[in-house]
Amino acid sequence: MRKGRYLFTSESVSEGHPDKVCDRISDAIVDAFLSHDPLSRVAVETLATTNRVVLAGEVRGPEAVNAAMMEDIARAAVRDIGYRQEGFNWETMDVAVHVHQQSADIAVGVDAAGNKDEGAGDQGIMFGFACDETDALMPAPIHYSHAILKSMAEARHSGAEPILEPDAKSQVTLQYEDGIPVGVTSVVVSTQHTEKASQEELREIVRGHVSHCLPNGWMPPEDEFYVNPTGRFVIGGPDGDCGLTGRKIIVDTYGGAAPHGGGAFSGKDPTKVDRSAAYAARYLAKNVVAAGLAKQCLIQVSYAIGVSKPISLYVETAGTAEVDPYKLEKVLREVMDLSPRGIREHLKLNRPIYARTAAYGHFGRAPESDGGFSWERTDLVDELRRAFGA
Cite the annotated binding site for ATP by residue number.
17, 167-169, 232-233, 241, 247-248, 264, 268
At 219, give phi and psi (nearest 5°): -60, 135
Cβ(318)–Cβ(296) under 8 Å?
yes
Q: Given the DSSP bridges, would you call strands 52-60 and 94-101 parallel, antiparallel or unpaired?
A: parallel
For the chain, first and last CA: distance in Å?
23
What's the CA dihedral at 189, 195, 200, 205 to 10 degrees? -50
Q: Given the DSSP bridges, would you call strands 41-49 and 243-244 parallel, antiparallel or unpaired?
A: antiparallel
CB hemisphere CA count around 183 (13 angstroms): 8
Binding site per annotation, positions for Mg(2+): 19
Binding site per annotation, positions for L-methionine: 58, 102, 241, 272
Q: How far apart are CA 352 and CA 61, in angstroms?
A: 14
Which residues pair with residue 314 across a beta bridge? 300
Binding site per annotation, positions for K(+): 45
Q: How far apart are CA 155 and CA 145, in angstroms?
A: 16
Binding site per annotation, positions: 17, 19, 45, 58, 102, 167-169, 232-233, 241, 247-248, 264, 268, 272
Amino acid identity, position 136: A
